[in-house]
Amino acid sequence: MPRPNAHRACDDFHATSEAKRRSFLGDEGGLTRRQLVGRGIAAGLTVYAARAMNIANIFDAAEAAHAAAPDAPILVSVFMPGGCDLLDTLVPLDKYGRYADLRPGIKQKDALALGGTGIGVNANLASGTDGGIKGLYDAGKIGFMPGIDYANPDLSHFHSRHFWETGLITPQSATGWLGRLLDRTGNQDNPLQGVSMTGALSPTLRSASAPVAAVSSPDDAQFWIPDVWGKAFDYAMDAWGEIAGRATSAPGAAAATNSARQAKQVADVLAPYRKDSKTGNDPLASPVAYPKNNDFADNLRNLAGLLAQPLGIRVAAVEADGDFDTHDQQTADLGKSLKMVSDGLSAFQADIEARGLADRVLTLVWSEFGRRPKQNESAGTDHGAGGFAFVMGARARSGILSDYPDLTKLDREDNLAVTLDFRRVYSSVLEQWMGTDAAAVIPNAGSFGRLQVAA
Paired with 146 in beta bridges are 388
Angstrom distance (rounded) from CA 133 to CA 124 = 9
Diameter of the chain measured on Cα atoms: 78
Which amino acid, one-letter code, is at 451? L
Expressed in angstroms, the distance from the first to the final Cα of the chain is 51
Paired with 346 in beta bridges are none
Angstrom distance (rounded) from CA 262 to CA 58 = 11
Angstrom distance (rounded) from CA 91 to CA 94 = 9
Element (H, E) at 56: none
How big is the chain, counted in residues?
455
Which amino acid, one-letter code, is at 146? P
Residue 396 contacts residue 142 (beta carbons within 8 Å): yes
Which one-letter DSSP state was computed for residue 446?
A: G
pLDDT at position 109: 83
Angstrom distance (rounded) from CA 48 to CA 51 = 9
Domain definitions of the chain by residue range: 8-222+275-448, 230-273
Q: Residue 201 to residues 25, 31, 128, 211, 356: CA-CA distances in angstroms?
A: 9, 11, 28, 11, 28
pLDDT, greater one: 200 or 163: 163
pLDDT in tens, 388-438: 999 999 999 999 999 999 999 999 999 999 999 999 999 999 999 999 999
Most confident of 13-22, 212-221, 251-260: 212-221
Average pLDDT on 191-205 reads: 89
- Of the ranges 43-47, 49-53, 68-72, 205-209, which one carries the lowest mean pLDDT score? 43-47
Give residue 370's pLDDT band: very low, low, confident or very high (50, 70, 90). very high
Angstrom distance (rounded) from CA 234 to CA 33 = 31
Angstrom distance (rounded) from CA 384 to CA 191 = 37
Angstrom distance (rounded) from CA 373 to CA 386 = 10
Which amino acid, one-letter code, is at 158? F
pLDDT in tens, 316-359: 999 998 889 999 999 999 999 999 999 999 999 999 999 999 99
Angstrom distance (rounded) from CA 23 to CA 357 = 34
CATH topology of domain 8-222+275-448: Alkaline Phosphatase, subunit A (3.40.720)
- Of the ranges 205-214, 360-369, 376-385, which one carries the lowest mean pLDDT score? 205-214
Give residue 49's pLDDT band: very low, low, confident or very high (50, 70, 90). confident
Q: Model-level pTM? A: 0.87
Angstrom distance (rounded) from CA 366 to CA 347 = 18
Q: Residue 40 to residues 224, 225, 263: CA-CA distances in angstroms?
A: 7, 7, 11
Element (H, E) at 77: strand 74-79
Which amino acid, one-letter code, is at 12? D
Average pLDDT over the chain, rounded to an integer = 85
Task: Give the HSE-up count for residue 7: Cα atoms under 13 Å, Cβ half-sphere.
Answer: 23
379: left (phi over 0), alpha (psi -120 to 50) or beta: left
* pLDDT of residue 3 exceeding 70: no
Average pLDDT on 253-270 reads: 53
Angstrom distance (rounded) from CA 430 to CA 440 = 10
Beta strands 361-366 and 387-392 are antiparallel
Paired with 77 in beta bridges are 317, 364
Paired with 364 in beta bridges are 77, 391
Residue 125 contacts residue 397 (beta carbons within 8 Å): no
Task: Give the HSE-up count for residue 267: Cα atoms under 13 Å, Cβ half-sphere.
Answer: 19
Average pLDDT on 180-190 reads: 93
3-class DSSP state of 291: coil
